[in-house]
Structure 1
Amino acid sequence: MNPPHLRAAQVADAAALAEFGARTFSDTFAADNDPQDMAAYLASAYTPERLAEELSDPWIVTLVAEHEGALVAYAQVGRGHAPECVTGDEPVELRRFYVEKEWHGSGLAAGMLGEAMRAAAYLGGRTFWLGVWEHNPRAMKFYTKHGFTDVGSHVFQLGSDAQTDRIMARALPPEVLQ
């Protein structure tokens, strides 16, 4: 199988990213959440208009991986407010990170994470952080394997449900800061 092609997303990708993000988020979390809360969140977080705004923001970098013309993964990093528990210099957030299930275990996620770290450095970051749902041990294990540590928590609002995200952070490695 040919490896996926990685590239920076463009505003023209907004509709495809909205569909992909909503589908992969739902595939991952719908079984463990109230359908109304899930629908409310998806309707606000994954509209083509919202994605187009994000893709137009100079402080956000969105990366996509495509295989044979199909979107198979995307990552989004951005500058902005970090929770107080993120104490490192110049924090940049991994805002979204989605990989199609059939690509899990293929090395694609690790490669995308490396590219996301380079994007964080491009945005002037020195510390990389993210929020991960406390009931997602697979993701926490992946991030721990890649040097992130649990530094605290914050509330993630899924519709009317205030959930707890663990905050994980790490210093960007020297090789991406060069």
Structure 2
Amino acid sequence: MDKRSPIYIRTATKEDAPHITDIGRDVFSRTFGHSLEKQDLEDYLNSEYTIEKIEEVISSPLCQSYVAVDGTEVVGFGKLRKESYEDCIKNLNKPIELWRLYVSISQHGRGIGAQLIDHLENLARNQGYENIWLGVWEENYVAQKVYKRHGYVECGVHPFTMGQCVQNDLILMKKL
């Protein structure tokens, strides 16, 4: 029997920044680390996954940040980002980006990612957005499978640069 608490999702606060930073650094390193030079990985983590950077994102009026919580422990996060575009979605009505949805590695398999996706899609829909889109690494087959199971379809590709390394993200979208 699973004795873990039910997961609930709430708006992120600056107090969550250390937890989001830790999860982001860990998941990003485990997902991408093998495909990057060590210095490129460290430079990227030190530019995107610091407490200060996460606090800045949480405070941004263009970003809505949420955390998944098990009891008192932050076990995942996801964000909606306004006014973010890619060529393949620029003609869609009222799009919003589902940005950086991560779940702690120790919590994989509990459906937390699906809960975050559903929560963020409902928020976007209730705010009047008609389409939601995201970028996912072309070699992250597990995440691609999750998003496609939720109805996302591929509509483009964009380069994702980390130091000297350029990889491709698939752009996936869904009509809300």
Aligned alpha-carbon RMSD (Å): 1.5
Equivalence for 1:48: 51
TM-score by length of 2: 0.90
Indicate the SS of the match to 2:160.
strand
Indicate the SS of the match to 2:84.
coil
1:18-167, aligned counterparts within 5 Å? 18-86=21-89, 87-167=91-171
Identity fraction in percent:
33
Conserved 8 A contact 1:59-1:123: no
Count matched residues.
172
Conserved 8 A contact 2:159-2:167: yes
Name the CA distance, whole Å, in 2 between partners of 1:29 and 1:166.
Answer: 15
Deviations 1:66-123 (CA, angstroms, capped at 9, x unpaired):
2132211110111023111014211111111001223222222111100111232355
Indicate the SS of the match to 1:85.
helix
Conserved 8 A contact 2:6-2:71: no
Deviations 1:50-75 (CA, angstroms, capped at 9, x unpaired):
11111111221111012132211110
Cα 1:93–1:106, aligned 2, differ >3 Å: closer, same or farther? Answer: same
- Letter aligned with residue 85 of structure 1: C
CA-CA distance at 1:159 after TM superposition? 2.0
Which range moved further: 13-22 or 126-135?
13-22
Cα 1:47–1:127, aligned 2, differ >3 Å: closer, same or farther? Answer: same
Conserved 8 A contact 1:78-1:120: no
Deviations 1:141-177 (CA, angstroms, capped at 9, x unpaired):
11111000000011111122111100000111xxxxx
- Letter aligned with residue 56 of structure 1: S
Conserved 8 A contact 1:61-1:119: no
| Unmatched segments (≥5 aa) in structure 2 | none
Indicate the SS of the match to 2:85.
coil
Conserved 8 A contact 1:17-1:51: yes
Equivalence for 1:175: none
Deviations 1:23-48 (CA, angstroms, capped at 9, x unpaired):
22112221232211111110100111
Name the CA distance, whole Å, in 2 between partners of 1:160 and 1:123.
Answer: 38
Name the CA distance, whole Å, in 1 between partners of 2:107 and 2:100.
Answer: 17
